[in-house]
Amino acid sequence: MPETNEIILELKEVNKSFGGLLAVNKVNLSLNKGELRALIGPNGAGKTTLLNLINGIFPVSGGQIFFKGKEITNLSPHRISHIGIARTLQITSLFSGSTVYENIWIAVQSRKRIYNPLVHASKRKDVKDKTEYMLELIGLKEKAQTVSSELSYGDQRILEIGVALSTEPELLLLDEPTAGLSTEESVILVKKVQGMIAGKTIILVEHDMGVVMGLAERITVLNYGEIIAEGTPQEIKDNEEVRKIYLGT
């Protein structure tokens, strides 16, 4: 989706320290609606921590976060989910004992408000229809009855994105979706995912430069918790400091 000029996410002077360790240092970030922003940086740069701060998993040590103009700093994760931000994790986090169908179901159900405890879950047609739609979208309809822990790793990563998407987010935080995948598998995943995430605003944390260069509209580079560069993929490629950090990636 073409990037608009409407700012959807804003981070102002966001800090995070764990004890003595400053993990995120005075980060200022502006994200436009529809943008696909890649967040890159060496291990330990604070990328996942930054996502955790946006998501509400960690409270900030300083600074503010705004989503669609409203402050969301330090809100709890479940409230942030309802505000329209969804998250996938670096280490696959699914409902391991449940089937693919059930994983999507529970995510879809989260958007519905009224739960009559005496109604059989399968009677919720609204949830059922949306679930089947999502399964179709992420391409896992045939594997719907497979227990999620028995899926291939690549499929699990896709399911995780599917679960996040089922919560109807406007902003999707993807934390290393290709982590643990081979290059071919990454390519496949990206192909599958590109259709799924169309229209959403995305922050993509990634190590795989091929994926980043291929997908990102803008890139933010993090090192030691600070933003050291920000720009288009070409600008970042040409950036001396970034090159230094990545030593010729």
- Residue 170 CB, nearest distance to another protein (Å)? 13
- Residue 49 CB, nearest distance to another protein (Å)? 16
The radius of gyration computed from the CA coordinates of the chain, to the nearest angstrom, equals 18
What's 91's DSSP letter? S
For tokens 């696909």, the residue is 36
- Residue 136 CB, nearest distance to another protein (Å)? 17
Nearer to another protein, 131 or 201 (CB): 131
Nearer to another protein, 165 or 211 (CB): 165
Task: For strands 171-175 and 201-205, give the pairing.
Answer: parallel
In angstroms, the CA 225 to CA 45 distance is: 5
DSSP-H helix ranges across 92-218: 100-109, 125-138, 153-165, 183-196, 209-215
Give the footprint of another protein on this chain (CB under 8 A): 55, 57, 76-78, 81-82, 86-87, 89, 93-98, 102, 105-107, 109-112, 115-122, 124, 127, 163-164, 166-167
The answer for residues whose C-beta is within 8 angstroms of residue 55's C-beta and 6 or more apart is: 77, 80, 85, 87, 173
The C-alpha torsion from 212 through 213 and 218 to 223, rounded to 10°, is 60
Q: Are 150 and 142 contacting, i.e. CB atoms less than 8 angstroms apart?
A: no
Nearer to another protein, 6 or 129 (CB): 129
- Residue 38 CB, nearest distance to another protein (Å)? 21
Nearer to another protein, 164 or 190 (CB): 164
- Residue 93 CB, nearest distance to another protein (Å)? 5
Nearer to another protein, 48 or 109 (CB): 109
